[in-house]
Amino acid sequence: MEDVCGRERKITSSTTSNRKQGEEKPAGNRHEAGDGPAVCSDGAEHQPDEEDNNTLSLISWNVDGLDEEEQPERARGLCSYLISHSPDVVLLQELIQPYTLFVKKHLADNYAFIEGGKENYFIGMMLKKSRITLLDSEIVTYPTTSMMRNLLVAQVLFKGQKFCLMTSHFESCKANAGERMRQLRLVMKRMAEVPDDVTALFGGDTNLRDAEVGKVGLPDCVCDVWEQLGEPEHCRYTWDTHANTNNDHRYKSRFRFDRLYLRRAAGDGVPQLEPDSMALIGMEKLKCGCYTSDHWGIYCTLSAQ
């Protein structure tokens, strides 16, 4: 989330007590962890024919785990979206341990989990076991972050092809543009250096403003997936406090904080991954009156050509 600076500083100063408080929170809520997932009303399910197609589906979402309001219900909302869309890859930001444990309890049969940390809040990946084979993973530290941010990288196989998946939660707040741009440079460098026979795909909450991206620039080999799809207006703003009422913001704003970047493989005979579609999810209120997160999630499909 963008307006997160104060809460992050509070967590940093009291790591153990805040973490334990977060772990105890769901147990006292009127919703029990064993309840079924919340029912979301965003229309038909989005499950492609799995085993015989070359389409990779992905969800990237900042789930706002730091917000305790209706957290168990919102976690059930996330599980409901993941079940209905059945993505191959899930890239999540702003996780906390109770939230992660809840999602694992409901989806561990179908997904392998990789976490970018254990304490406070962190990023993570979920890989569909029937479609994605995990080869290796690593956590890359941002040397000058003041918000405990890092980059999670996973080497995987999809349909026999090598992929490098990345997710991150860049530094928040307008004043931290310099650090955010340093993090973008590091990610772009990592993507550009991936071997030619590997497809690199990044998704996450970048907190980037367009002017910041313009100052850094993208390598010629890397494309912004939303731009590649023709800049569809319906999924431009992933952070929209005009429409999303989970938090009471005095000043309303709309930004494209959550972004996907693609570096296609360039080796001879290696299939090229091309973006097919993109949509925002999480735009339906749950029964509790909240949205699943203060960010909209991104659902994207890409096909091997």
Active site residues per annotation: 205
Per-residue DSSP letters for 199-236?
Answer: EEEEEEE----HHHHHHH---TTEEEHHHHTT--GGGS
Are 192 and 242 in contact, with CB atoms under 8 Å apart?
Answer: no
- For 284, counting Cβ atoms within 10 Å of its Cβ (0-12 exposed, 13-18 middle, 19+ buried), the class is middle
d(CA 35, CA 258): 30
d(CA 178, CA 184): 10
Are 271 and 293 in contact, with CB atoms under 8 Å apart?
Answer: no
d(CA 128, CA 111): 4
DSSP state of 37: P
d(CA 74, CA 230): 32
